[in-house]
Structure formats: C-alpha cells, structure tokens
Chains A and B, each alone.
Chain A
Amino acid sequence: MAASQTPTSPQSAPLVPREPFLTKRRAFSIVGLIIFLGFFAIPIYQTILLEMIGDTGQLMQQIVIGLTKGTYIAVIALGYTLVYGILELINFAHGDLFMIGAFLSLIFISLFGLDPKTSSGLTIFFSLIAILGLVMLCTAFLNAGIERFAYRPLRNAPRLAPLISAIGMSFVLQNVGIFLGDGLIWDKIAAGLGSDAIGRVADAMGSQSVAPKNIPDLLPNGQVFFVPASLRYTYKDLLVAVVSLGLLAGLYSFVRFTKLGKAIRATAQDRDAARLMGINADRTISVTFLIGGALGGAAGMIVGLYNGTALFTMGFTAGLLSFTAAVLGGIGNILGSALGGLLIGLVLSLSDQYIGTRWSNAVIFAILVLILLFRPTGLLGQEGGQKA
C-alpha cells in the first residue's frame, strides 16, 4: 500500500532487509538443521556416497544428463531473472510462455512438413533454424504484449496486483495451449481453407485437446564421435547444450556490452534516476520483455524437440523448476541464474538415480526453502538491491 502513496517507485526498497548474515536466530536454526539432518540421515549419505563411488560410469552419465537438462532450465530461468531484475515482478506467466513456444514449434514443424523419415538432413537443419527464429519472434511479441496490457497499467499499484495479474496470465496462456492443441479446430480451419499444410497440423494435434502431443524426432540421435561409447551422449544432447549455452552467452554479452543492455542495467538499478539520465524506461522495459519472451520461446522449442512432447501443463512444471533455479543462483543475476539452472538439473538427475524419482520434487523444494531461509539473495546475489 505504501508504495502507491509515496512518489518513489516500489523497487527502490531493497527486497532483503540489510542485516548481518549470522543473527542469533539463524545460527540456532542452522545448528538445529545440521543436528536433525545428521541424526537421521548419516547412514543414508553413506550409502549414497558408496553407490556413487561404486559405479563412477553411472555417476558420470547422470552428471551429463543433469547438466544438459540444466542448460535449458537456465535459459528459462533467465526469463524470470530479467523481468525480476527490472520490475521486481515474478512473471508467473513465463513458464506458460515457454509452453506456447513448444506448441508453436510443433505447429511450424507440421506446416513445413518436416518428417525425420523423408526430409533430408539439410532441409531439417535450415528449417529448424528458420523455425527457431519464427518461434522466438512470436513469443517475444507475445511477451511484450502481455507486459503492455497486463503489467504496465499496474506498474504503480501495490506489488501484489501485478503478481496476481501474472498468475491470471498464466491461466490464460494455459488455455491458449489447450486451444492450440485442439486438432478438431485445426481440422475445421484446414477444411475451410482447403489447406494441406494446416491439415498436417491437425493430424499432429490429434483429437484430444489436452493430451500430450508428440513432436517428431528431428535431431540427430547418434553418439558424439569424441565421447567413449560407455557414456551415452548423442548429438541431440550436444545440440541442446550448445544452443542453450549460446543463448546464455548472447544474452550476457548483450546486457554487458551494448548500449541497450546498459540502459536495462541502469533501469534495473534505479528507474527514476535512469529516467533523469534520459533513458526511456517504458521502452527499456518493453525490450526486456521482448528478449525474455524470445528466450522463453527458444527454450520451449529446444525442450519440445529434446523431450519430443508438447503438453499444455508443461509450462507450470518447468516454470517451478526454473524459478527455483533463478532463486538459487540469485534472482536478478544473469550468471547466477545460469549457475542455478545447471545446479538444479544436476540435483534432479542425481536425485533420480540415488534417492528415488518420487522424491526429486521434494528435494528441489527443500533447496528452495533452505535458500530462502539462509541466503535469500541466492548464491551469486548480493545483499541489497544490486541487480541484473
């Protein structure tokens, strides 16, 4: 409430109260936690460690799977970090934007008529690059549109208002996903236009709008030549990692070295001061959303092709993981989010191997809670409001 009454913008207040890291209460809870975990779990740690040392091949395999998964989690996490850095808004719709990206790539793949059995490798390669561009363009403008209509009018409202608006947008996008996945609607459009290409989209979506959609397996599945055969690492894994890391590097250098990037950092630090220096804050924020949207869409396409599935709820699951990654690394910090993504991917795959698949989510959220308790700024975040 106070934020709407005072003329200063809401983000000038630091998210985390400045207090010494080790207060008495915190020290107490850390000691308590160590005793608790130690007492109950020492035998478990022992077994896990022995298992890890016992089969290093399997450990390596899981690390590779985890890191590959981690790279795309990092790309999604960047969307949260960018928006949080500049607006202090947790953009809950970002995960669903990622889902829309996966659906759009399936739609374009069907429109282009790509088929792993009939299309040549070169056609697939160039079409996929074109599709990546198209998907990124669509989701970029979708995200900027969401900002324009759902967040900007609430910019000076209490902080809860845009948050609720973001959750609302998340539901809207999920329903868009259901709509896009409805083969019967595509069927009608195809019949109306007499178009074969749209007929292919209808076939890809099937008759049930909410069922998982199968994305054809277009990426090369062969073992990478320089990796020993005992470790399973395909060109598909390599491509996912390379494209994701490329996007991360591209974004980092954009924010670090370009004039627009500088404007983004300045606006994130202090919007009013930035405005006084002649930076168009609204435009800067729009650009941030464009970039965040493009990254979300790209991640949707990467994950869609990697896992071979588009599902209207996939954004929610992925969103929670990447949000945790962003918080773990330090929300608002680009390098932090990348690190957080990699760590979350690692934890997930190691937990699948050594603790049990059904516990993996619990492990992730335990990490989230611990981070919020003991280091709310995340691993690379700084105390106080330094962001982006």
Chain B
Amino acid sequence: MKRFLSFSLVLTMIMVILAACGTQTESGGTTAASTTVTIVSSLPRTGSSKGQTDTIVNAIKMRLEEANYSACEGKATIKYEDLDDATAAKGAWDEAKEAENANAAASNKDVMVYIGTFNSGAAKISIPILNNAGIVMISPANTYPGLTKDGKGDAGEPGVYYPKGTRNYTRVVPADDLQGAAAGNWAKELGVTNVYILDDTELYGKGIADVFASTAEKNGIKIAGRDSIDAKASDYKALMSKIAATNPDMIYFGGITQSNAGQLVKDMRAAGMTADKVKFMGPDGIFEQAFIDAAGADNAEGVYATFGGVPPAKLEGKGAEWYNAYKTKFSAEPEAYAVYGYESTNVALAAINKSCDSLTRETILKNVFATKDFDGVLGKWSFDASGDTTLTQMSGQQIKNGVFEFVQILK
C-alpha cells in the first residue's frame, strides 16, 4: 500500500510537470501563430460522395504543393487538414460531425480558412459557428441559393446564418436559382411538354426542384404532378406506376445520388418508361459515376444532368492546363467538383498573400471578399458582396454508353 501511495505521488508530480510544460508550449504556439496558417477542408470523405471528394482533396493538395505549402515569400507556413463530415454508418454527411469540425476549426487559433462544405445542408450548420469565430469559408460545391441570397430561400434566410451581422461565406460555384432555371429552359429546348417533378425533401433537392418547377411553368410546360420521395424506401414501384399513369414525357428529380436516385431510374424503367419515351433529368447531384453504378448502366442510359459550370474536360485556357496537369499527376479523370476545390484553394492563397502584414482571420476574410477580376482556372471572375461568384456558365450532360457526355452550354 505504501509503495502504491508513493508511486501514485510520483506519477501525479510527473503529470503536473508535463501539464505545465504542455501549456507552456501551447502559449508559445499562439505567439508563433502569425507564421502558420492552417487551411481545413470539411467534406464527406466516407460514403458514396467519396468519389467526388477524393478528387477535390487531390486538387486542394495539388494547389498547395505548387505553393510549396508556404505563402508570403516563405514567411508563412501553410498547413492543411482534411476533415470528414460524414459517418460510415450514415453513408452521408452528418449534422453532429459537421458541427464538430466547425467547432474544432473555431477553437484552433491557426485555422484561418475553411474550405467546405460539399452539401448545402451541412453549410447551414457550420456557417454560423464560423461566423462567430470570424473564419472565412469557401465552398467548392454548395449551390443552395438561400445561403447567400435574399428572397431566394426560406423566410429569414440568409440573415439567420450570420449572427454577427457580417458575411464570412463565399462559394466558387453558381447557385441553384441559376441551375434550376437552366434545367427548366433546357427541358423546353428538348421538347418536353408534360413533366413530373420529384424531390428528396432536402434543402438542395427541394430548392432546385422548386426553381425548376417555376421555370418550367413559365416556359409553358405542363406539370403533371409533384411529389417528395422517402430517400430510404427500398423501391419506388408504386410511385412510378402512379407517375406512368399521368403520361409525362420527362421526370425531373431534385436530389442527389445518395437519396436513392439510382433506384428511382431502375423502377422508372421497370414501370415501362423507357429512355426513348420518358426522359429523366437531374441536377449536378447526380452528375457522377456513382449514379451510373447505382442505377446500372443500361437503366441510366439517356439520363440528363445539369451542372453549375462546365465539366473538367471542357475547360479552356488555364482550366485546360489544370485539367491536363491533374490527369498526369493522378493518372485519373477529375470528377466535376475537383476544379472548384482547386479554385477555392487558389482564392484562399491569393488572399493570404495579400494579408502578409497581419496574418489574422479578419484580414484574410476581408481579402477573400475583396477578390475582384480573379484570373483563375475557371476564367476571370469576382465575388459579389454576398459572397457569390459572378460566373454563371452552366452545362448540360447526358449519359451515353455508360458515361456522362457533355452536350451543350446552357443559359
């Protein structure tokens, strides 16, 4: 017993000393913070979005490697952390995980740039947390309009996301009020006269389906019906039979691959709605290989998808150079959002390099918002006051022979 007492006493002392040292090094760390800038990304790194986010993270790392992980002519070191906001059990992004990532970023003094999120619903959670911490957020993929635009989302949006009253959120992709409208116009061009609209009840999916519905109506397309699906249902045979009875010539689905889009197409074909009779169109949420895999190449043949930008292989100028460099470096095709991951990092580095005099969250935030006529891989573009890009180019894709093929630029 005596031996145990003295042992634990020694142990306690060691722990106290260690703890003291610990705080010391930590305080040393904060004073040196001005020379270390940590960029974190928060993306769904598990689940079926992984195919997309792998290429985004590759692109982020690629840009940072080009900058040699340093800024301000070597005076500042850049660190990068690749955070996951998805859980394997859910197979998709998770609210608790996203909040955890944002809080971790807020409490780490070195974190000054937050690249993310992939899903608009996740952005809703992290924007207010990072707004309070004064960290700038650059999203390579969020497209829900209500995150930035007045009157385009629900009541109170976007004000509710910015508790401090100032803006801290930017995105390098065009928002869905543009994409949904582009899809509605494209449907008209394709000769659609009677459309059935589905959505997955999520922020992104329902939002884009709403915009599509209003544009389609404006274009004189009849709306045969509108329904929300349960993304967890095992099949949609009854629903597709109901839809088939309304004789539509197109089904528009506002949603993502992970909301069972593949099963929808399967059951649509099983209900006798073949590709030559009924078209299926979706937003960029299904513009990925995972969608074709889930639906089966035969069923997916002929499916249309819109995308807020142009696919990597169709980029021009600097974008084309980037595309070739990416293919050489990773010997693989980048998915649709990789170039936006690259551009996000590009903007972040430019803002850091403009903030060398005082490397703080405030100055970097200010300089990201001051991005004007930025000459990046996407072309020449600026951020407006609400954090949206001035780029508005959209494109349409169709699945041919089991792969997405570029069809045309949309307006």
Chain B residues whose C-beta falls within 8 Å of the C-beta of A356 in the assembled complex: 227-228
Chain A residues whose C-beta falls within 8 Å of the C-beta of B232 in the assembled complex: 313, 317
Closest chain A residue, CB of each to CB of B87:
A210
- State A348–B260 Cα separation when bound (angstroms): 18
Closest chain A residue, CB of each to CB of B298:
A217
- State A171–B88 Cα separation when bound (angstroms): 12
- State A58–B245 Cα separation when bound (angstroms): 7
B193 at the interface (CB under 8 A from A): no
A152 at the interface (CB under 8 A from B): no
B376 at the interface (CB under 8 A from A): no
Q: Which of B48, B234, B245, B290 touches A317 (beta carbons < 8 Å)?
A: B234
A62 at the interface (CB under 8 A from B): yes
| Interchain CB contact under 8 A, B295 and A208 | no
Q: Which of B47, B239, B266 touches A308 (beta carbons < 8 Å)?
A: B266
Q: Which of A206, A212, A214 touches B260 (beta carbons < 8 Å)?
A: A212
Interface size range on B against A: 35 or more
Residues 228-245 of B at the A interface (beta carbon under 8 Å): 228-230, 232-239, 241-242, 245
- State A212–B256 Cα separation when bound (angstroms): 13
The stretch from A16-24, A126-134, A357-365 touching chain B is A357-365
Closest chain A residue, CB of each to CB of B258:
A211
Chain A residues whose C-beta falls within 8 Å of the C-beta of B257 in the assembled complex: 211
A165 at the interface (CB under 8 A from B): no
B224 at the interface (CB under 8 A from A): no
Residues 159-208 of A at the B interface (beta carbon under 8 Å): 174, 178, 206-208
Q: Which of A214, A306, A352 touches B295 (beta carbons < 8 Å)?
A: A214
- State A348–B238 Cα separation when bound (angstroms): 8
Chain B residues whose C-beta falls within 8 Å of the C-beta of A207 in the assembled complex: 51
Q: Which of B241, B242, B294 touches A212 (beta carbons < 8 Å)?
A: B294
Closest chain A residue, CB of each to CB of B201:
A358
A297 at the interface (CB under 8 A from B): no
Residues 276-308 of A at the B interface (beta carbon under 8 Å): 303, 306-308
Chain A residues whose C-beta falls within 8 Å of the C-beta of B241 in the assembled complex: 58, 61-62, 65, 232, 349, 353
Q: Which of A217, A232, A309 touches B263 (beta carbons < 8 Å)?
A: A309
Chain A residues whose C-beta falls within 8 Å of the C-beta of B140 in the assembled complex: none
Given the contacts A210-B88, A309-B266, A353 and B294 also touching, CB distance less than 8 Å: no
- State A216–B295 Cα separation when bound (angstroms): 10
Q: Which of A69, A174, A216, A350 touches B237 (beta carbons < 8 Å)?
A: A69
Chain B residues whose C-beta falls within 8 Å of the C-beta of A210 in the assembled complex: 46-48, 88, 91
Chain A residues whose C-beta falls within 8 Å of the C-beta of B295 in the assembled complex: 214
A327 at the interface (CB under 8 A from B): no
B151 at the interface (CB under 8 A from A): no
B319 at the interface (CB under 8 A from A): no
A314 at the interface (CB under 8 A from B): yes
Chain B residues whose C-beta falls within 8 Å of the C-beta of A214 in the assembled complex: 262, 293-296
Chain B residues whose C-beta falls within 8 Å of the C-beta of A318 in the assembled complex: 234
- State A299–B89 Cα separation when bound (angstroms): 23
State the Cβ distance, A204 to closest chain B Cβ, in Å.
10
- State A72–B227 Cα separation when bound (angstroms): 26
State the Cβ distance, A356 to closest chain B Cβ, in Å.
6
A66 at the interface (CB under 8 A from B): yes
Chain B residues whose C-beta falls within 8 Å of the C-beta of A217 in the assembled complex: 296, 298
- State A352–B267 Cα separation when bound (angstroms): 14
Residues 324-361 of A at the B interface (beta carbon under 8 Å): 348-350, 352-353, 356-358, 360-361
- State A314–B234 Cα separation when bound (angstroms): 7
| Interchain CB contact under 8 A, B293 and A206 | yes
Q: Which of B50, B201, B242, B271 touches A352 (beta carbons < 8 Å)?
A: B242
| Interchain CB contact under 8 A, A66 and B238 | yes
- State A210–B293 Cα separation when bound (angstroms): 12
Tell me which of A55, A212, A313, A317 has the highest count of chain B C-beta atoms within 10 A of its own C-beta. Answer: A212
Tell me which of B46, B89, B242, B290 has the highest count of chain A C-beta atoms within 10 A of its own C-beta. Answer: B242
Chain B residues whose C-beta falls within 8 Å of the C-beta of A65 in the assembled complex: 237-238, 241
Chain B residues whose C-beta falls within 8 Å of the C-beta of A312 in the assembled complex: 91
B22 at the interface (CB under 8 A from A): no
Q: Which of B47, B230, B234 touches A357 (beta carbons < 8 Å)?
A: B230
Closest chain B residue, CB of each to CB of A361:
B230
| Interchain CB contact under 8 A, B294 and A349 | no
Chain B residues whose C-beta falls within 8 Å of the C-beta of A69 in the assembled complex: 235, 237-238
Closest chain B residue, CB of each to CB of A350:
B238
- State A308–B293 Cα separation when bound (angstroms): 12
| Interchain CB contact under 8 A, A211 and B237 | no
| Interchain CB contact under 8 A, B245 and A357 | no
| Interchain CB contact under 8 A, A211 and B48 | yes
- State A2–B78 Cα separation when bound (angstroms): 63
B74 at the interface (CB under 8 A from A): no
Closest 9 CB pairs of A and B: A211-B48, A349-B238, A352-B238, A210-B91, A214-B296, A358-B228, A212-B294, A307-B235, A353-B242
| 26 intermolecular pairs with C-beta atoms under 8 Å apart | A55-B245, A58-B241, A62-B238, A62-B242, A65-B241, A69-B238, A208-B47, A208-B51, A209-B88, A210-B48, A309-B235, A309-B294, A312-B91, A313-B91, A313-B232, A314-B234, A317-B234, A349-B237, A349-B238, A349-B241, A352-B239, A353-B238, A357-B227, A357-B233, A360-B230, A361-B230
Q: A62-B238, A317-B234, A361-B230 are in contact. List 10 more A-B contacts (CB 8 A).
A: A211-B48, A214-B294, A232-B272, A303-B234, A307-B234, A317-B233, A318-B234, A350-B238, A353-B241, A357-B230
